[in-house]
Amino acid sequence: MRYEVDWSILARPELAALLIDGVRYTMIVAAVSTGVSLVLGTALAIARVSGSGWLRWPAELWVNLARHIPGVFWVLFFYFAFPELLPATWGSALNGWTSFALAAGIVALSVDNATYVSDIVRTGALAIPRGEWEAARCCGLSPWQQWTCCLIPVTLRTVTPPLANRTIHNFKNSSLCMVIAVPELTWATQQIESLTFRGIEATLVATLFYVTVALALGVWARRLERGGYRHWRGAGAVWRRERGELARVDSRR
Partner 1 sequence: MPVRRPLSSLFALALAACSLPAAVADSVLDRVRESGVVRIGTGNDTPPMSYIDESGRWVGFDIELGNALADRLKAKVERVAVNNKTRIALLANGQIDMTVSNRSQTRSREEQVDYASPPYLWTAKIFYAKQGRFAGIGELAGKRIGVNQGSNAFTAAAQEIARYGGEAPQVVSFQKNAEGMTALRQGKIDAFCQDSPIIAALAGDTGGSFAAVGTGFSPGLYGIGVPPNDSKWRDAVSFALQDLIKDGTYERIYLAWFGPAGRYPLALDARPRLPPDAFGAMMYVWPD
| Interface ranges with partner 1 (CB under 8 A) | 1-5, 79-80, 83-84, 91-92, 95-96, 98, 100-101, 178-179, 181, 183, 187, 190-191, 193-197, 199-200
* 183: amino acid identity, one letter: P
Q: Are 36 and 106 in contact (CB under 8 A)?
A: yes
Q: Compare residues 57 and 80 and give the one whose CB is closer to partner 1.
A: 80
Among 220, 188, 215, CA closest to 202: 188
* 66: amino acid identity, one letter: A
In the Cβ-directed half-sphere of 244, how many Cα atoms lie within 13 Å? Answer: 6
Q: Are 142 and 112 in contact (CB under 8 A)?
A: no
Q: Compare residues 183 and 236 and give the one whose CB is closer to partner 1.
A: 183
Question: By 3-state DSSP, what share of the chain in percent is helix, strand and coil, each rounded to 5?
Answer: 85, 0, 15
How would DSSP label each residue in 126-178? HTS-HHHHHHHHHTT--HHHIIIIIIHHHHHHHTHHHHHHHHHHHHHHGGGGG
Q: Report CA dihedral (36, 39, 93, 75) to the nearest 10 degrees.
A: 50
Q: Other C-beta atoms within 10 Å of 192: how many? A: 26
Q: Other C-beta atoms within 10 Å of 182: how many? A: 26
Least Å distance between CB 106 and partner 1?
A: 16
Q: Other C-beta atoms within 10 Å of 209: how many? A: 16
Least Å distance between CB 127 and partner 1?
A: 43
